Amino acid sequence: AAARLSAEQEVENLSGLSPNPEKDIFVVRENRTTCLMAEFAAKFIVPYDVWASNYVDLITEQADIPLSRGAEMKGKCGTNESELELSWLDQAYTLKLSFLKEGHNTSRGPEASWRLSRIQFTYDSSERTYFKDAVS
């Protein structure tokens, strides 16, 4: 299930290859070279307000939002920055992971690795799958 982003970039969900059925494997490639491969599961816990039974007071509920197995993917490979973006339920929920390349010296010489630099989760509280009767 690979989706073309441009003539040379692609993303792929390799969930079936993960030894853990709870996790997905996501791959971002450029020119057939993998720049990012991430294996993880995620669940987001978001507090939200609903009307109390008296319709005067607000009470706080909690939405438990799992990363959906059929999430749509986008990604980009950069020289020093790369991204993986996942969205599900008609883009009501989006998880964007940004990575930075870091160089360091080892006994074998200079090496580079990627580190997670930013996580952004956005959601639409009017989407009713996880936000039951949400007011705000």
Residue 6 falls inside a structural domain:
no
34 domain residue, yes or no: no
End-to-end Cα separation, the chain, in angstroms: 36
pLDDT tens digit sequence for 32-81: 888 888 889 999 999 999 999 999 999 999 999 999 877 899 999 998 99
Q: Please state the pTM of the whole predicted model.
A: 0.79
What residues make up the domain containing 103? 42-123
∠ at Cα 25 (98, 77), nearest 5°?
35
| Tokens 């607000």, located at residue | 58
Establish if 15 belongs to a structural domain. no
Looking at residue 34, what is its pLDDT? 87
101 falls within a domain: yes
